[in-house]
Amino acid sequence: MKRLLSLLSICLLLAGCADKETEKEQLNPYRPIAGLTIPRQGLVGEEVAIQGHGFAADCRISLQLNGATSSTEVQVTHADENSVRITVPETLRTGFYAVILQQNGATTRIGGINILGDRYEQGDFEIYVLAGEQLKVYPASVSKQVIAGTPLPDSGTKDLDYSGYVEALPDGMLYYASHGFDEVPYLKEVYDIGAYNMLTGKRTTPRQIEDFFAIGQIDGKFHLLKTDIKENRIYTLVEWSASEEREIQKFDFTAFGSARILVPDQRFVYYPAERVLLVYGNMGQGESMAQSTFTLDLQTGEVFRTGNNANYRYAYAVAEDRLYCFATQLDEGDAVGTKALRIDDVRQWSIGGEGAEELLSVSGTGFECPVYSPVTGMIYGVNDSESFETLLTFDPRTNRFAEKKWIKPGIAGLFYAPQPPSDTK
């Protein structure tokens, strides 16, 4: 009996100590809530429930945007000891917010939450990426990353293989290309061109084509560069929409021989200062394959071959009326370094030669999918030596790589969403 009483006394003593420790934790102003659970994301205008133990009935909650100096107090619709429900104001910008709790005379940051907008809002982010198997849109920057939660439509093509490039137009339309194969009546290579309106959320049914070569935009309108299946040295530029296409100009590539020209990046870049298109491509096969850039003159219809070097892969971006080339150095197909060049002669230039000024050379990195943001003045790209998981920033004002951000899951495409016209409804 004495032994039993002793055991009971020890249990009561330990229980009392546990109660005191729990009470101490609850009263700690730095950790006022035990068992705290905050949702990873919330939508503007909707209610968010925060779970935990230790809330006061008269507590107040504020949200502070990452990097901001002030916070916004939100409406608390319910509060008891175990939970708090708040309404996210519709006026909040999309971004990552610190959750701030005020109660019992103390103010404490208890966690964070991603706040998502229910519409496309320009200016919220520096750049956009497509990531994951469902190709969801991720607004991103070097200081924050918020999932927009809007997947692009699946084209339905067999063996779907996303090409990795998208074009975002000033009217809010987002165009993309998917690559696959059609087995009826025989195995052939096909492409689907799809569109998604970021302003309205409307998706268009993808259109299938066989003669796709590259996509891009000219003066704010979406264009395709197509090749004739039977005569693969004649290329046609067409202005394209979800319902029709209009032929603009033909380009003759026969001067470069009979070898088929391949464009793995499937994107052209328009340089308005010279009225030319720049398309990166491969000529030949196997060890004889040479990487080149083809400059297509919209005024004369001429085609020029530049940057011809088998050890580099080229990608372009236009920033403040200047043309930049990022030449990724290859070693047996792997990216081992990058040269940043400013191109002065779009019709005749080479690495280490005339017509291009080398601005920067770095090792151990690639720089693919370059996209310029006029809002930040930066050129963003992807480090393909790290499996397209690192978002890089190149500053054309200092000619240096600036910040970078790790993106998970890996990046499938990269684009800047331009400011829509003020009269867009």
pLDDT 10s digits, 298-329: 999 999 988 767 688 888 999 988 999 999 88
The answer to whether residues 112 and 132 belong to one domain is no
Least confident of 8-22, 53-67, 146-160: 8-22
Number of compact structural domains in the chain: 2
Q: What is the distance between the alpha carbons of residues 263 and 253, in angstroms, rounded to a whole number?
A: 14
Alpha carbon distances (Å) from 146 to 81, 129, 136, 224, 409: 31, 11, 11, 31, 13
* Residues 186-208, mean pLDDT to the nearest whole number: 73
Which residue in 59, 98, 96 sits closest to 77, CA to CA? 59
The answer to whether residues 58 and 169 belong to one domain is no
pLDDT exceeds cutoff 80 at 211: no
The answer to whether residues 406 and 264 belong to one domain is yes
The pLDDT assigned to 373 comes to: 87
- Domain membership of residue 343 (yes or no) is yes
The pLDDT assigned to 194 comes to: 80
Q: Which residue's structure tokens are 């603009």?
A: 248
The pLDDT assigned to 115 comes to: 81
CATH number of the domain encompassing residue 59: 2.60.40.3920
The answer to whether residues 242 and 384 belong to one domain is yes
Q: How confident is the model at residue 112 (pLDDT cuts 50, 70, 90)?
A: confident
The answer to whether residues 56 and 159 belong to one domain is no
- Domain membership of residue 9 (yes or no) is no
- Domain membership of residue 14 (yes or no) is no
Element (H, E) at 9: helix 2-27
The answer to whether residues 84 and 184 belong to one domain is no
The answer to whether residues 288 and 210 belong to one domain is yes
* Residues 96-118, mean pLDDT to the nearest whole number: 86
- Domain membership of residue 10 (yes or no) is no
The answer to whether residues 39 and 138 belong to one domain is no
The pLDDT assigned to 324 comes to: 96
- For strands 106-116 and 41-43, give the pairing: parallel
pLDDT 10s digits, 24-33: 334 455 578 9
**Taking the CB of residue 201, how many other CB atoms lie within 10 A of it?**
11
Residue 168, judged by CB atoms within 10 A of its CB (0-12, 13-18, 19+), counts as buried
Average model confidence (pLDDT) across the chain: 77
* Residues 70-82, mean pLDDT to the nearest whole number: 95
Which residue would you say has higher pLDDT here, 54 or 124?
54
The answer to whether residues 212 and 315 belong to one domain is yes
Give the domain-ending residue among 77, 97, 116.
116
Name the most confidently modeled range: 210-219, 249-258, 353-362, 415-424: 353-362
Which residue in 202, 199, 43 sits closest to 120, CA to CA? 199
Name the most confidently modeled range: 10-24, 45-59, 262-276, 333-347: 45-59
* Residues 127-153, mean pLDDT to the nearest whole number: 64
pLDDT exceeds cutoff 80 at 264: no
- Above pLDDT 90, what percent of the chain? 30
The pLDDT assigned to 289 comes to: 59
The pLDDT assigned to 220 comes to: 86
Q: How confident is the model at residue 118 (pLDDT cuts 50, 70, 90)?
A: low
pLDDT exceeds cutoff 70 at 52: yes
Domain of residue 40, residue span: 30-116
- Above pLDDT 70, what percent of the chain? 71
- Domain membership of residue 12 (yes or no) is no
pLDDT 10s digits, 384-400: 766 677 888 999 999 99
The pLDDT assigned to 144 comes to: 56
Which two structure tokens, joined as six digits, stand for 136?
Answer: 């969801």
pLDDT exceeds cutoff 60 at 62: yes
The pLDDT assigned to 318 comes to: 94
Least confident of 76-80, 146-150, 263-267: 146-150
Give the domain-ending residue among 62, 97, 116.
116
pLDDT exceeds cutoff 50 at 155: no
Q: How confident is the model at residue 21 (pLDDT cuts 50, 70, 90)?
A: very low
The answer to whether residues 198 and 74 belong to one domain is no
CATH number of the domain encompassing residue 299: 2.120.10.30
* Residues 230-238, mean pLDDT to the nearest whole number: 80
Q: Which residue's structure tokens are 């003020």?
A: 422
- Domain membership of residue 16 (yes or no) is no
For 141-200, list the strands marked E by DSSP. 161-168, 173-182, 188-197
The pLDDT assigned to 145 comes to: 56
Q: How confident is the model at residue 57 (pLDDT cuts 50, 70, 90)?
A: very high
The answer to whether residues 198 and 263 belong to one domain is yes
The answer to whether residues 273 and 318 belong to one domain is yes
- Domain membership of residue 382 (yes or no) is yes
The pLDDT assigned to 208 comes to: 80
Q: How confident is the model at residue 5 (pLDDT cuts 50, 70, 90)?
A: very low
